[in-house]
Chains A and B, each alone.
Chain A
Amino acid sequence: MPMADESDPRVEPMKEQEGFAIIPDRWKVDFLASMGELSRFYIELKENARLMGTRCPQCGSLYFWPRSWCHDCYVDCDWVEMQPRGSITVFSRVEISLSDMRRDVPFFQGGVQLEGARYPVIAILKTTDPAALKAGMPVRAEFLPPGERTGRPRDFYFVPDE
């Protein structure tokens, strides 16, 4: 077990507030999480800037985000490369963010349905003309440069497809 560092609240002394004892504490848990049967999505995204979805061989549903089996037909899906184009289903301007995304506020986030996909996905929208954004607007995916991609979904975002 590594020793707690100096900033670790778990070694700070108790504080008192209104006569009650306040014990500083922290839960910190690290993961090395396997993406398992979904791995190809992350690998293709990072290595080749490709958006991978899956298709049900029985009902033809096209899933993006990919899922490895169809929840209607209960059969395994096949990997397919998605066209990096779709349309906005809904969007809003985010004014407050509590994650690392706070450095980007205000930013636009919304739903984007890729061409042929059964469901929309949550997505970052980037535009030089915010007033022109509207539901139904065609968008295309852009990718961070290879050196900046980490294999996570935010390696891509959508821009108006003009």
Chain B
Amino acid sequence: MNRVAVIGAGNTAFKARHIDKTFPRLAYEAVKACLQDAGAEHDDVESAVYGIYNDFFERCAMPDQHVHYLLGLARKPAVRVTNGGATGGYAVRAAYAEVAAGLHDVVLVVGVEKVADLANVFEMIKSIAFAADPFFEAHYHGSPAGSYGGAILWHMENYGTTEEDMARVVVKNKGNARNNPDAQSPMELSVADVMGSPKVIHPIKILDHCLSSEGAAAVLLASEEAAARFKREPVWITGIGASTESGRQAERDNVGQSLFPAVRASAERAYAMAGVSDPAAAISVAEIYDAFSGVEICLYEEFGFCGWGEGASFLRDGRADMGGSNPVNPSGGLIGGEHAIGATGVYQVAEVVRQMRGEAGARQVHGADTGIAQSMGGARGAYSVTVVLEG
């Protein structure tokens, strides 16, 4: 397999609504920033992969074709990836495979999402819920909060994790977002502020929720040989692991202590590929999928930053903070930064690339040399992709 480099990264600002921009325009702005970053022209792009999650969000069943043509890439190959919250991660993986296999040398990955063209939040959640198993579970109109809530409850009951711990994640991530000029929701909050926000489904409150964002992100991948033609020092994708689970939220095989088996498997696969044997020592920065605050606590364990059941103490000890041993979500993550669903996994990679280059500004983790980006989607993290990047 060819080595695969990220040679460019760009994104729009993320907002609850870009009323002034269509989804092709958002994609164009991210791509233009990405190509400028790489010192590339759109003619250099040989193939493109689009991470666009939900047809209802874009009001179009083949949104990628309209973006691809307007990017001036007609007659070049294109494919759309749609895997729920893992859309962006799987889009990066599809592009990685094209370069690694030698099919193309320069491949563009674009993640883009509108959401606020849906008439209201009810229509948005309804559009997401259409992902449920249509034969059985769909009849219960489950929500993402319900699907993840069960895992969080299990963690609370078995490990003593509290709602205050969940609130600490929110305080951290909304606080980190203050260092990210593209973030949607920078806030200075206290644990009490989070605890006082209205409950959606126990134990999840409104402020424990990820954001709902519009925006776009793009990264340019290249083979080692092609990367030398462009101006930027390559950041290497040294590991990429993907995995899956049942798309039904109540249905999981017992695979040890993992609450998110697809995440664990994607991490193990990516770590093995990158030669990471001690993640707590090796991973200097992580942009991972804090769909809900309690999920991030579970993910510290899935990624091996601490042992099973130690997620809450890992957080309380400040190890996930900026300045901690393994800073998690310096961008603000999905809770403080953005969650333009199809863009998220691409944006996470762009953020880790900036960290590897030392270009992350006020959110820079000093001395960062190995980072991970991880996104997941479907019922309770049924699909997951973990990307290991090294500067």
Contact = CB atoms under 8 A, between A and B. Distances in A.
A153 B202 contact: no
B250 A98 contact: no
Given A20-B19, A98-B143, A120-B251, A92 B136 contact: no
Given A92-B153, A94-B146, A152 B139 contact: yes
Interface in A78-130: 89-90, 92-101, 109-111, 119-124
Contacts of B136: 65, 121, 153
B125 A98 contact: yes
Interface residues of B, number: 35
B107 to A, nearest CB: 32
Interface string B110-138: 00000000000110011001000011110
B280 interface: no
A67 to B, nearest CB: 9
Per CB-CB distance, the 4 closest pairs between chain A and chain B, nearest first, are A99-B141, A119-B251, A65-B136, A111-B250
B230 interface: no
A153 B140 contact: yes
A64 B146 CA distance: 20
Contacts of A93: 201-202
Contacts of B154: 90
Nearest to B132: A122
B157 interface: yes
Contacts of A98: 121-122, 125-126, 129, 141, 143
B76 interface: no
Interface in B143-159: 143, 146, 149-150, 153-154, 157
B56 interface: yes
A111 B248 CA distance: 11
A95 B200 contact: yes
What is the predominant secondary structure among interface residues of chain A facing chain B? mixed
B141 A122 contact: no
Contacts of B125: 98
B166 to A, nearest CB: 14
A122 B137 contact: yes
B199 interface: yes
B135 A38 contact: yes
B141 A97 contact: yes
Give the size range of A's interface with the partner: 20 to 34
A18 to B, nearest CB: 6
A26 B56 CA distance: 10
20 contacts: A25-B59, A27-B56, A33-B134, A92-B149, A92-B150, A94-B201, A95-B202, A96-B201, A97-B141, A98-B125, A98-B143, A109-B140, A109-B142, A111-B150, A119-B251, A120-B251, A121-B250, A122-B140, A122-B248, A122-B250
A89 B56 CA distance: 33
A17 B119 CA distance: 14
B249 interface: yes
A32 interface: no
Contacts of B246: 119
Nearest to A31: B134
A90 B153 contact: yes
A62 B152 CA distance: 27
Contact of A135 (B121, B141, B149, B157): B157
A99 B129 CA distance: 10
B139 A154 contact: yes
A35 interface: yes
A93 B199 CA distance: 10
B20 to A, nearest CB: 6
B250 A35 contact: no
A148 to B, nearest CB: 15
Contacts of B201: 92-96
A11 B199 CA distance: 38
Interface in A1-53: 17-18, 20, 25, 27, 33, 35, 38
A82 B214 CA distance: 46
Given A119-B250, A121-B136, A153-B139, 4 more contacts: A20-B19, A65-B136, A120-B251, A122-B142
Contacts of B142: 109, 122
Contacts of A121: 136-137, 248, 250-251
> Looking at A92, A93, A97, A122, which has the most chain B CB atoms within 10 Å of its CB?
A122
> Looking at A18, A35, A98, which has the most chain B CB atoms within 10 Å of its CB?
A98
A92 B145 CA distance: 11
Contacts of B56: 27
B150 A35 contact: no
B127 to A, nearest CB: 9
> Looking at A25, A38, A96, which has the most chain B CB atoms within 10 Å of its CB?
A96
A154 B59 contact: no
A150 B53 CA distance: 33
Contacts of B126: 98-99
B389 to A, nearest CB: 34
B140 A92 contact: no
Given A98-B126, A119-B251, A121-B250, A20 B140 contact: no
